[in-house]
Amino acid sequence: MADEKEAEGQEGKKSKLPLLIILIVVGVLVVGGGVVGFLVFTGKIGGDAEAEALAQADEVQQAMVAAKAEEVGSLYSLKTLIVNLAGNSGSRYLKIKIDLELDTAEVETEITKKLPMIIDTIISLLSSKTYGDIQDIYGKELLKEEIISRVNLHLSSGKASKAYITEFVIQ
């Protein structure tokens, strides 16, 4: 009988030992995984490449903005124009201020000399537009392109490369 109890005790110890080892291993894996997950999440490990890529992208974007700022030619501000829009029996009007970006300094002198013709051309263009033509962003972008095209018809020493609408009110 004593042998049976002793054999039972050894079997109980043997069956508990693998279970205890498994629990310890699982516990270490859970704690280790938690630590590694925390370090990755906080960027202490494995996040360096991503952080460097983000920093590089930010530097490239800043360089592009700086390059665009350097590319801007001289600006010529036209006076504020107020015109009646087409349609609606002239009940709607547009107040607009336009700045022209010029590719050379000589163009500025030429624009000054030909300013009455350029203003007349722009007023004719603007007064031919309806509210629907210029109410959305697409219409405004198209208007800028048309203004540049019409202004450049009067220029011979260079050209206006962009138009910037700096004031825009429709009433």
Greatest CA separation for the chain: 124
The alpha carbons of the chain give a radius of gyration, in whole angstroms, of 37
Asked if 111 and 151 sit in the same domain, the reply is: yes
pLDDT tens digits, residue range 34-75? Answer: 877 777 677 666 555 556 656 666 777 776 666 665 567 889
Q: What is the pLDDT of residue 26?
A: 85
Q: What is the pLDDT of residue 162?
A: 94
Positions of the chain with pLDDT lower than 70, given as ranges:
1-14, 40, 43-57, 63-71
Asked if 166 and 84 sit in the same domain, the reply is: yes
Q: What is the pLDDT of residue 50?
A: 58
Residues with Cβ within 8 Å of residue 144, at least 6 apart in sequence: 162, 163, 164, 165
Q: What is the pLDDT of residue 145?
A: 96
Share of the chain above pLDDT 70, in %: 74
Q: What is the pLDDT of residue 66?
A: 65
Range of the domain at 59: 2-71
Domain boundary among 71, 95, 111: 71
Asked if 13 and 83 sit in the same domain, the reply is: no
Q: What is the pLDDT of residue 115?
A: 95
Q: Are 139 and 52 in contact (CB under 8 A)?
A: no
Residue found under tokens 């859970």: 30
Asked if 63 and 87 sit in the same domain, the reply is: no
Domain boundary among 21, 50, 71: 71
